[in-house]
Structure 1
Amino acid sequence: MSDIRMTHRVLQIHLASWRGFALLSLPPLALAFLLLGSYQSALLLVLFLLTQYYCWRLWLDERLFTLLKTEHDLAPFDAAMARLWSAKPGPVRSFEARWHGVRRIFQRAIGALIALWLVALFSVLWMI
């Protein structure tokens, strides 16, 4: 198995973690509804929505990366994405550039989830 294929498979496995992130964001959402009307509730809801946005992005990337098997798939993929978003097709991005972007989204999803749980924890401690 080539190095690109192995990296691609590892990336897809990590992208599938959006399910866990989405599930782990539910307890703080329940707390936000318990604290409805407070500033902690508003902050929890904003962080929940941010986490869900990153989950959606990971889900979308997981689905889109299944279309990319070889380097030959990159140009048609970029052309299709440009057509979908009514943009001018730019230079074809390499697998490395795409992996870097996905890694950034993955790290932001983890950061949003951690921030959500920290605010939830501090909200519970504040109530005690």
Structure 2
Amino acid sequence: MIQPRRIFVGTLLWFVLPWPLSSQVAAPPVRVGFRNDLSVPILLRDLTQPLAPPIRLVPKETVWDRLPANARIPIAISDAASGQVLAKTILTVPPAGSVLFSIQLNPAGNVVLTPRLAP
């Protein structure tokens, strides 16, 4: 909530301005990308918004979005054909800049999000 700041002239209350305190100013959103490095189409779903449609990514496709800085967002990665959940993880958004997450298999054969340098 924005706290009003009182502007005084002498001892009289002149007027009140709604002015954000430094702790209330939100950081600008961070540019976050997702690249499908798997060989199958996938669905990327934000678990905090169950009614939002998932993002469909074909192999080698990259999509970009703006997310709140320092956010922790639970996501699910599913096979687009069967709907089987391949991975559930918590996406940690950095405080500033851009980040690209590669969706790929790790050596153990599990689907993981790997942060990469953004172009």
Q: Based on CA coordinates, which of the two structures has the bigger radius of gyration?
A: 2
**Which structure has the highest strand share of the two?**
2
* Common fold by TM > 0.5: no
TM-score norm. by structure 2 comes to 0.27
**Which structure has the highest helix share of the two?**
1
TM-score norm. by structure 1 comes to 0.26
Q: State the structure with bigger RCO (CA 8 A, min sep 6), 1 or 2.
A: 1
